[in-house]
Structure 1
């Protein structure tokens, strides 16, 4: 997209291709000037729509404008407009190929408690494999307006992924699904998509704590600024105590033999677990977009199997997909970070289902603990891939992760921290030797400066002498720990932060 030249430093502008009349979104960096801004729109008879995601965080959509009106805004309002850019339009193209094969249907057991995974997507078809598990449907659309292609494929992997691939990736156990349909069979603009996602979580957070969000807004993340989509996802998780699993996004640069593009907007959400894809050879998939996140934050967090797309000798795209179900109930294959994400949201749901004591109110749900357990288990593949491609790596199975709670070589500390916290390990953990080799994982939440006038992460936690660089909500370390040395967690201020620290003694 073209840039307008000689811009005021504080107002970012992107123009639509060929400067055709388009819908633009505008964000203000001084909300006290909102009335002045609206007056300009009304003076020039510009149609607009305001979408407020939470208090003082809103977006204006200006309908059908071009650079002529943007020049007027530049002249009259550039000192309080943060940015103006075309509204992203979202559609869900999906290449699905039918495959041979049939697997048995799994049904809920009587008198057994299940937790629910929220699938934020384009709907889930009530096919025989999924219908017994669809607990409820949250939608703003009529059934005939939705296609349920992508949401069905995602849900099939979440529940039956291992059986369909005939190998153990997650160690699947069944759980309920909430079908949260946020887009119809046609296209949707970014402001409406984000609002629909927010409403799905707001209206269901008491009974659904884990969410799969395999949708992206097709804009690459920035180096220094967190996207509106990322900010909205962080705010939802902070406000409602939920955990969102977000796909990193797919790119087609491999078809032009170009380097991979950056992760899509929304994949810079720091509280979400963002997922990339690997192929069967355990390399990062050609289409899987890369990090890091803004300001050097670690994104993606993890990766899993999502299939492969490649450039064929004839110049056409070749798909070697992963298996799930089409909306008519047949076994089918497709590729994408969406489907890698479904495996890891499934993994988290199974872990929580096994440790949950309160199936009525889910008062014991701890997103920080779940995130820490999964990240702690993750390993690089034998291809030694970069953090930009796969984050901390590929997680272990649910059985392996659940064994941590009974493993005498693993200590799990959960708590709330302000400025400092000392963690002492007793001598028996060291086998009374002078030092041991450990693997350590720290995950915490914090408060955010959603306006991004200062640091987005208002308060971080560092581990003295072990992990002190960058501001990151996840830290992982392998090395030697001396027996008489306390672990010192410290922070730059007194903001309360929930944390989980996992320390594993390595042989």
Structure 2
């Protein structure tokens, strides 16, 4: 029951009134990356010219009519405005930006002739001596450079992709992988997405040559995989490629047509797959000959059209451990007249055991009873229905309202996966169908997913598994909550020490790349969950990351995981894990794994959705789930702030009731809408009177959370988010300018959460990109002013957009939810009533969040 002193958080019903045309800023002069070092630029220019010429010669030497050149930006040139898209790699010069790899890497479609002509252009127009221009304000002469010199100076390297860029495993490794359990289909081969408009004949020829090279091998089965797009993205071109003994090759490749206008008004590529009659991957006997696989991999790795080759998709439930007790678990039954949140449990089945059957809301899936493995899914369903009763020591941190489960059985027991799915697309099609069914039959919007695909995610990239999950989430207005994945056996870390300095020492000995989250944990339209140690486990520090929990970040440094919960400690030396649930026979069991921390978070999100009657926008649910999340005190120690975010994100979510309410000394405002192109949200308000001094100094605290749904293009990998939104809060100070006029001088006040730098680092563009402080779908900001600051009571909350270089902001806009909490840390000032009254005085419309969605759905 809600505290009678609490107040519901407030939602703006007319956010569109606050969205206005964004003022355009005049462009400044081009940056000279070799300012004062003309000799250095001359040497650098010669290097770049030579690399461009060499790329053209290599492409021509291979007989390829077209190819793709990789351009790596220098550290200083990572910013959007420095990318070589204005003067060098332009459509006018017959280039097209078609993708990327790691941060600062871009792929351009090119022909041998275009590269040779570009080399000559750079040689002629990238000046060694900048011109002198008089500064109108100072009267002094300053050096100015052309776009040619600026863009050339920002580039580190230009080259054609090599085999090592496409392939990082051997045929022997591949065969060993293919012979393991739970592998679906063949190699996941991602193709570059050519732009037909720039060089149509060359593109057609390139695709034809690729087909011929595959057909010459014989026995090649190649079928489209995940060719459907995420919102605003052009279609991906990905194949599942395998070998069969004897017989002709069966290959379906894309036929690209020129661009057309999409539903949002932007241009999208049109892709046909020709004759798409089903190609059955099981035709013939699988060929596991090392020499044959090496031949196939050699062709793929040397083919210009191929961007990346991944091992076949291998699915597994996030591994977890458990110890069974003899006692029967006790889970209270549902109250007959009550309605409960429903969670879709995507797993290998939930047992129809007496304690859980009353909590079953439905179920579906293709897996027959004999092929189910219900241990894992039953443990998860037990936590959803009886988490607090089974774990009384953790009850204060768990959602008080139990959840029903919708049993989505898409995963069979080990060794049976290939009997149900021949290609990855078959699995994702089945998953999508089950999601639709669960939503249609039981209104499910929140899905708990503890399935992972180890080995397919590279660096800070974005896997095909994550892209497929995001596509389903967006298409059906649902949210997947995914486990971060577990380190197994000897991979596990030592237990986290209690002293922060000792923890840093332990982490310094670990290889970060080997501990990163497992696909699809890097998905961008949902949540990912890490695991914490619970209290009461002998020899284990509570409230710190478990020894097995994998770490972020996500694509290009995006914040992953966003949240963490208690997942049970790694069972060692006979210890119990400290987290309890139920077995398929109804017995009590304890277990550990990020897959068991995940349902504790899923329950909170599902309860939020239930309280808001399933009407809240996805972005609002995501923002609410992280806005008041708190890290355990031990992880707030200064040495750990920059490290802990990669393990626990924003922390442990609060119970839904608390997330939806405020105390009298605080108020939370929700802005939820769509931000159109070239627009910004601007909300001007007065700081609470009780927190403002007579001189205008403002004290208190402000917390801001932003969740938005950026357009994603998987072809750009680490830079797959093509648009980002960013919030800022300004105190509107007055000052006198040089003319003696009083003007408004906005002072930015917000800081990113966890923005404190580790020692010996600077706020470089790369750090901002890789730390999730810039390109991430969910952001949190804060400002604490215990002693007060400034001299103005007028403030402005702003929301603006930034696009990647070469990206186009979608005409349909970007959906967002922005939450701002103003509070008095001393818990004395009547902030809620003061702020709400001041907003209503300005003629804006507010409503309690529990009724706001209903009002909106009626069009009021």
Q: TM-score range by the shorter chain?
A: 0.7 to 0.9
Say which is worse superposed, 443-452 or 373-382, in terms of deviation. 443-452
Report whether the alignment pairs 1:412 with 2:640: no
Tell me how far apart the structure 2 counterparts of residues 111 and 51 of structure 1 sit (CA, whole Å). 49
| Structure showing greater Rg | 2
Q: Is the Cα–Cα contact under 8 Å of residues 159 and 175 in structure 1 kept in the other structure?
A: yes
**Does the Cα contact within 8 Å between 2:726 and 2:801 map onto a contact in 1?**
yes
Query: Match of 1:86?
Result: 311
Determine the structure 1 residue equivalent to 2:520: 266
The aligned residue for residue 20 of structure 2 is: none
Residue 84 of structure 1 deviates from its aligned partner by: 1.7
TM alignment of 1:21-100, pairs within 5 A: 22=178, 23-30=186-193, 37-48=210-221, 50-55=223-228, 56-57=235-236, 58-63=238-243, 64=287, 66-75=293-302, 78-92=303-317, 94-99=320-325
**Residues 171, 225 of structure 1: CA spacing in aligned structure 2 closer, same or farther, 3 A cutoff?**
closer
Kept in 2, the 8 Å contact 1:220–1:262? The answer is: no
Deviation at 1:269, TM superposition (A): 0.7
Q: Residue 198 of structure 1: which of 412, 432, 440 is its match?
A: 432
Deviations along 1:9-52, one digit per CA (max 9) or x if unpaired, are 75334335556474422122237766654554443222425253
The answer as to 2:355 corresponding to 1:121 is no
Residues 485-494 or 301-310, more deviating? 485-494
Alignment of 1:120-139 (within 5 A): 120-139=346-365
Q: Using the TM superposition, give the Cα deviation of residue 441 of structure 1 relative to its aligned residue in structure 2, in angstroms.
A: 1.2
Counterparts in 2 of 1:501 and 1:406: CA distance versus 1, 3 Å:
farther
Does the alignment pair 1:498 with 2:726? no
For residue 485 of structure 1, give the secondary structure of its aligned residue in structure 2. Answer: strand
Change (3 A) 1:255 1:300: closer
CA distance in 1, matches of 2:334, 2:354: 13
Which position in structure 2 is the counterpart of 1:342?
Answer: 599
Q: Using a 3 Å threshold, how does the CA distance of structure 1 residues 67 and 406 change in structure 2: closer, same or farther?
A: farther
Larger RCO (alpha carbons 8 Å, 6+ apart): 2
CA distances 1:392-418 after superposition (whole Å, capped 9, x unpaired) = 111112232232498852222222223
Q: 2:333 aligns with which of 91, 96, 107?
A: 107
Measured after TM superposition, the shift of residue 59 of structure 1 is: 3.1
CA contact (8 A) 2:329 2:582 kept: no
Kept after mapping to 2: 8 A contact 1:439/1:503: yes
**RMSD across aligned C-alpha pairs, in angstroms?**
2.9
Deviations 1:361-417, CA, capped at 9 Å, x for gaps: x4x132211111110111111211510111111111223223249885222222222
Alignment of 1:104-503 (within 5 A): 104-166=330-392, 167-187=395-415, 188=417, 191=424, 193-206=427-440, 207-219=443-455, 221-252=457-488, 253=490, 255=492, 259=510, 261-280=515-534, 281-309=542-570, 312=573, 320-356=577-613, 362=614, 364-384=615-635, 386-404=644-662, 408-418=666-676, 419-428=679-688, 431-433=691-693, 434-435=697-698, 436-452=700-716, 455-464=719-728, 465=748, 466=750, 469-480=773-784, 483-492=793-802, 494-495=809-810, 496-503=813-820
Distance 1:430 1:474, change over 3 A: farther
Contact 2:321 2:593 in 1 (8 A): no
**CA 1:161–1:37: 2 relative to 1, 3 Å:** farther
Aligned to 1:3: none
- Which segment drifts farther, 297-306 or 388-397? 388-397
SS of 1:218's partner is: coil
Cα distance in 2 for partners of 1:367, 1:406 equals 28
Distance in 1 between residues matched to 2:412 and 2:480, nearest whole Å: 21
1:311 Cα deviation after fit: 5.5
Tell me if the contact between 2:516 and 2:551 (Cα under 8 Å) persists in the aligned partners: yes
Q: Indicate conservation of the 8 Å contact 1:172/1:346, yes or no.
A: no
Q: TM-score, normalised by structure 1?
A: 0.88
Aligned equivalent of 2:170, options 15, 37, 49:
15
Identify unmatched segments of 5+ residues in structure 2. 1-160, 179-185, 195-203, 229-234, 244-286, 495-508, 535-541, 729-747, 753-767, 804-808, 826-860
Residues 224 and 309 of structure 1, relative CA distance in 2, 3 Å threshold: closer
Change (3 A) 1:273 1:238: same
Using the alignment, how far apart are the partners of 1:97 and 1:310 within structure 2? 9
| CA distance, structure 2, for counterparts of residue 475 and residue 255 of structure 1 | 30
In the TM superposition, residue 61 of structure 1 has moved relative to its aligned partner by 3.3
Preserved CA contact (<8 Å) 1:221 1:294: no
| Equivalent pair of 1:28/1:34 in contact (CA under 8 Å) | no
Give unpaired runs (5+ residues) of structure 1: 1-5, 357-361
CA 504–279 in structure 1, closer or farther in 2 if over 3 Å, else same? same
Mark the CA change 1:204 to 1:488 in structure 2 (over 3 Å): closer, same or farther: same
Distance verdict in 2 for CA 1:430–1:366, change over 3 Å: farther
Q: Quote how far apart the aligned CAs of 1:283 are.
A: 0.9
Cα offset for 1:114? Answer: 3.6
Contact 1:53 1:198 in 2 (8 A): no
Write the deviation string for residues 321-347 of structure 1: whole angstroms up to 9, x where unpaired.
511111111111110000100101011
> Which structure shows the bigger proportion of residues in helix conformation?
2
Determine helix, strand or coil for the equivalent of 1:14.
coil
In the TM superposition, what is the alpha-carbon distance from 1:305 to its structure 2 partner? 0.2
User: Which piece of structure 1 moves more, 293-302 or 202-211?
Assistant: 202-211
- How far apart are 1:266 and its partner, in Å? 0.8
